[in-house]
Structure 1
Amino acid sequence: MKPKTLHQPFEVHVADMDCWNERPLIYHFFEIVRIMDGTGTRETNRNRFPYRPGSIFLFTPLDCRGFHAETPTRFCSIRFSEVFLSEFKSEQDKERITNWLKQLETIFAHHNRFEELLIRNENDCRMIASLIQHLITEYEQRQAHHKENLRHLVTLMLNVIARNVEVGGPAESNGTREGLINRVLLHIQRNLANPEKLRVEYLARHFHISPSYVGEYFRKYTGESLQSYIATSRIRLVAQRLTQSNLTVGEIAAELGYTDESHLSRQFRKHHGTSPMAFRKGLAQVA
């Protein structure tokens, strides 16, 4: 699939959906999309969810994303890189934002694949709409301190979105099998750097499932094996780190729990057909 990169650390676009006539693309940046008018379908990584006026979507780097409009649609797109959010003066702020971005990755990776992202609180919906309008004004007028204001507005908006995701809906909080698989998937996403918490024995104890049934249960509700899902999810994070950070391959391997750099490189080549460094150089050439 064709990639699309961001040429500035932060961009805001208000446009009609006509620009989405081409096939879904893989984007190498974070994006918040708010539907202003119209109805249709949002596609992310081959999953489809309906949209309507007021719908809000957040996409993480390397999501393949697209829209299929059923009625004339107008939207606001807020696009930013990890560099944009980490341009703070102190190392403490930078570390805080880096950790916060990692949490967002796990939350939204789950929802983009398995569930529609819903903002259930009406006050939060109104707050996000107001924040987006302020973002558009700051971006267009570019007055003094507008970059700092844009960062704070984006951070506040993402915090509001994240708390709605973390609260979860009925399917995630009830005792059904579907609710349980959602909790298992979120646990895996949040512990990709901690292999011990991804072992069958740990999952069985933590979620009160028979160890002999964990693999069968996981495949039944996701359509793939537990180990395949974990391996693919970790490689996806590796690709995001290569795209969004200046970390070395060895540092990424240490962060995500690989045995060493060579282990990571073998697994990455198996999924992408190229080495991590060649992948990173290819992105630089596209940009």
Structure 2
Amino acid sequence: MSARTYLNGIEGAWIPTHDRGLMYGDGLFETVLFVDGVAPLWPRHRTRLEAGVARLGFALPPIDALLAVAQQASSGLARAAVRITVTRGVGERGYAPPVPAMPNWIVAASSAPVVAPDWCARGIRVRCCSLRLAAQPLLAGLKHLNRLEQVLARAEWNDAEIAEGLLGDSAGRVIGATAANLFAVRGGRLLTPALDECGVAGVCRAEVLARREVAVGSLTWNELMHADEVFLTSSLRGILPVRGIDAQTFAPGAVTRGLQQEWRALGLMEPADG
């Protein structure tokens, strides 16, 4: 089945070339997993969208229309990855935002990526990226359209055995992965980096925070390398154990396995083999 794309609810329409999302990255996006037409984490996607447009200073299009079109776009796909993009819309040339803004919204659906069973069972190998995320508290946590830092970080390797790259900030703190949030278990405590200066606050991360007692704060590279368990979270891949960071090895533990079971019960991960 070919991908379906909608602009402001109209299938097949084209985004204007002078839309501010294309010109300046002036907008936000969500990548939503639909399972048989239902998005289990939609309330968290909605909350992040509403908070994001409020911080950027323009109105969110009708949220019920966004969801309805996303459901329509996902029809016929057992597991669909639906990207919802909201931009400030079209304005005069230059950085000054139009007042009032007339946002554009784009919905595009395709089959969700298949996660290798071995990744879920044994874990993935990741590397530490040399790129350091810039601090910008006004944008921290948002899933805004400017992903150039992640693009440059992902360009650092082409080894098919490396599934992800870890990113830190200029102060030596671990922030997360190029397309996932990071959790570590040390001495029985579940930890995740604070994202008040940079990084994306994922919906899967928010779900873990709601289900577990988690210490949110500064996490150094040394602390990470001495963790008992490490796992990544993302809306499309769910809970992925990390079995190696560069030369350091890890093994999936009870915390990771427990969360994987909960995610499978919600339909957010494929059932385990066997």
Q: TM-score, normalising length from structure 2?
A: 0.31
Q: Which has the higher contact order (CA 8 A, sep 6+)?
A: 2
TM-score by length of 1: 0.30
